[in-house]
Amino acid sequence: MEYDLEFLKNFDGNILPSQINISDLVNVTEKHVSQFRYFYSSDKSEFPEIIIEFKNLHIPHLLGLSKDHHLNLSTYQAREIINNLKCDWNLEYLKSSDEQWFAENKDKLVGVLLLYQLLHVQNCRVLTPLYIINSNFGRRFKRDNVYFLILRSTNNKEYTIELAPMKNHDNIFIPKSLKINDTHVYKCSEISLTFLRSERIKYDKKRGKGRK
């Protein structure tokens, strides 16, 4: 199966995580999903324009490849993880080095393949927990500083990307986490979010980071 732009646009979530090619997943995500800023308009007067900035360095965290979720990796530097996933670390390596990681995070592999649809608000619902901060559900979102959620239901599962504000920015958000079948979302309010456009984040080789 070839992972390309058409695949991302039409993916229905119907794939076994054990059959996912992790290198192809990272490459197609880098080419068509990450290193972009996504621009939206909303029906919330507090946030008439929302920008989501999604970088390559967010990918390992969304896959659960961190010290908190995967043991025995040779590095936990996001940039090095990305390079290793492209070249050396296949799914069998990740599973064998920490069997519990795959059991707990396998659905996140599917979720990353759905990020194109989530970030383009393609057959998605958009929710905000901003108005439930005093409930049991709201405290979790407040702790994680989550302002918005984009949810996609497919293949009998719900995939949610949680968004938190970028430091020192009022309307720019970054991916906080990727959740599957998260019951917390049912206490959130639905909002209207309209995708406007995306812009590639240019990479500054001298500084080693994205720039406008």
The answer to the question of residue 179 being in a domain is yes
- 67's tokens: 């010290």
Which amino acid type is present at position 165?
A: P
Residue with tokens 């896959």: 63
Task: Decide: helix, strand or coil at residue 182.
Answer: coil
The answer to the question of residue 148 being in a domain is yes
The answer to the question of residue 8 being in a domain is no
Please report how many Cα atoms fall inside a 13 Å half-sphere around the Cα of residue 10, on the Cβ side.
6
Q: What are phi and psi of 173, to 5 degrees?
A: -125, 155
End-to-end CA distance of the chain: 34
Q: How many domains does the chain have?
A: 1
The answer to the question of residue 10 being in a domain is no
The DSSP call for residue 117 is H
pLDDT class for 212, splitting at 50, 70, 90? very low
State the pTM of this model: 0.90
The answer to the question of residue 129 being in a domain is yes
The answer to the question of residue 92 being in a domain is yes
Mean pLDDT for all residues in the chain: 89
Please state, as a whole number, how many other Cβ atoms lie within 10 Å of the Cβ of residue 192. 11
Question: What's residue 144's pLDDT?
Answer: 85
For residue 56, which of 20, 76, 27 has the smallest C-alpha distance? 27
Question: What's residue 125's pLDDT?
Answer: 97
Residue with tokens 């069998």: 92
Q: Which of 34-38, 79-83, 91-95, 138-142 has the weakest average pLDDT?
A: 138-142
Domain of 166 in residue numbering reads as 21-193
pLDDT class for 133, splitting at 50, 70, 90? low
